[in-house]
Structure 1
């Protein structure tokens, strides 16, 4: 979730990553009335170098927009590190041996993972697995959009704060955090292949497959899905509906999983009588 510092489990669940050197045509939607246009673009937070996605219809929509809206604005790494330590440090008993074994396999010192709250342990293991597979936030969609907006003089706004995103994890029940950590450890060997399959769907604009993955995640952990997906989708749909009252053109970019599957932002907008149309390009 914290795209530049902890791509982690949320990044694995809500986005994907790229295949080197490939061309992608991700899905893009548009909400429009007489004087307002809002583009809805699903992002991938961590990528390998070389994926070509910021062109054609996506670039045209970005260039036509007056402002860019992301999940969070570019955070201060030092402030995030301090906040993460504050919220994610614990003094309890060690985790199960397999957790520390997985951490050591990914390069962490023996016992270091045991000092973390379960949610942070899960995020850290996922981050390390992503990095080991060759993916990084520096090549992710948000990084490219932020750089392009700065170069074009477009204002960048945020739907959430970095603190708020961390608090989503910290606010989970102990049982949900432990389940998240257990699932993360079990799925580490398949992290790379799963991400590769996911990004293939994303790059092909296959929202149905993206949605199927989101439904799988929701069924596996209803509490996590409610906190990380459902509530946020509802807030963001409300934001879009309110923003339609102001004239202008907006490029709104959030994790691809929020724009696919049951309870997507588009589905919630439809309940409000606002139609999101797929942009053909």
Structure 2
């Protein structure tokens, strides 16, 4: 459960929205602007059904040629589990029952009991993002793989350094900017209509496999989590990442792997890097 919670941002995934001038593609080469070696930008989907998972030979080859694997957070950090443990429950003891009606709460309790075997009465103070992680397996209904885990395994095989663009506390703290009431309402919305969530996730996977950035953006534009907080959860993070990416690339070839939604839009990484003077070339998978 704890490992799944780290993927919360990514499963909701896709990024800022601009329908003009966008190309398809989730794998890009970064060059120019004084770089001595090219780096790479790979958009991932954090959890995907095993039968839909495919790691392109080109991706693995470019990773092997790089000096380091750079993820959103360093998932190889030994302090990761401790940070997750410290963020399971609401800091001030707020409960889900403070934000849902008794009828809504009982619906959630029944749903969670049937789907996971867990009793919501024992989880009332658990943070909404962790509760969300409990129902993601119900959206996929399959054995899953995570691109980040597979990339990390390849990196370790090649004795590569693994680093992060932000800390786990940075990522988790983003949820503090969203009122708990809205987070619990979003959780209730998903759990109350799990079939809709399944359909949307299937569309998400299909669009990712087609490398269709615009289709992904259209899906996220309807997402209750991101509708009012896209700037905080995605756009601002993209802006925050540009300087550390630039510093890393000066040291050698970097392989950046982030949620696919961080690539697109006027404040997506592709456009932001171009504005900094870098050349970006799509690489076919």
Specify the alignment match of 1:172 in structure 2.
178
Match of 1:13 in 2: 12
Structure 1 counterpart of 2:239, from 214, 234, 237? 234
- Whether the 8 Å CA contact 1:38–1:251 is kept in 2: the answer is yes
8 A contact 1:70–1:157 mirrored in 2: yes
Measured after TM superposition, the shift of residue 229 of structure 1 is: 0.8
Q: 1:34-78, CA deviations, whole angstroms, 9 ceiling, x for partnerless residues?
A: 513121101121122244522232122212211110111225564
Spell out the pairing of 1:120-135 with structure 2 (5 A cutoff): 120-121=130-131, 123-130=132-139, 133-135=141-143
Higher RCO (CA < 8 A, seq sep 6+): 2
Equivalence for 1:104: 113
The whole-number CA distance in structure 1 between the counterparts of 2:251 and 2:185 is: 45
Determine the C-alpha separation between the residues in 2 that align with 1:146 and 1:28: 17
Inter-partner Cα distance in structure 2 for 1:240 and 1:275:
14
Q: CA deviation at 1:175?
A: 4.2
Q: Paired residue for 1:47? A: 48
Match of 1:18 in 2: none
Check conservation: 1:237, 1:269, Cα contact below 8 A. Answer: yes
Question: CA 1:232/1:57 → structure 2, altered by over 3 Å: closer, same or farther?
Answer: same
Say whether the 8 Å CA contact 2:68–2:253 is kept in structure 1: yes
Deviation at 1:135, TM superposition (A): 4.4
Which segment drifts farther, 29-38 or 43-52? 43-52
Unaligned runs of 5+ in 1: 16-24
8 A Cα contact 1:12 1:195, kept in partner: no
Paired position in structure 2 for 1:19: none
The separation in 1 between residues aligned to 2:55 and 2:25, in whole angstroms, is 9
Contact 1:89 1:116 in 2 (8 A): no
Q: Counterparts of 1:193 and 1:144 in 2: how far apart (Å)?
A: 26
Q: Aligned partners of 1:3, 1:211: CA distance in 2, in Å?
A: 28
What's the offset of the Cα at 1:106?
2.0
Q: Secondary structure at the match of 1:85?
A: coil
Q: Following the alignment from structure 2 to structure 1, what is the Cα–Cα distance between the partners of residues 260 and 4?
A: 19
Q: Which residue is equivalent to 1:147?
A: 153
Give the structure-1-normalised TM-score.
Answer: 0.80
Is 2:88–2:127's contact at 8 Å kept on the other side of the alignment?
no
Pairs aligned (count): 265
Change (3 A) 1:271 1:191: same
- 2:174–2:233 CA contact under 8 A, matched in 1: yes
SS in 1 for 2:88: helix
Compute the displacement of 1:236 (Å).
1.6
Where does residue 35 of structure 1 map in the other structure? 36
SS in 2 for 1:165: helix
Q: Per-residue deviation at 1:12?
A: 2.6
Partner of 1:194: 200
What is the TM-score of this pair, normalised by structure 2?
0.79
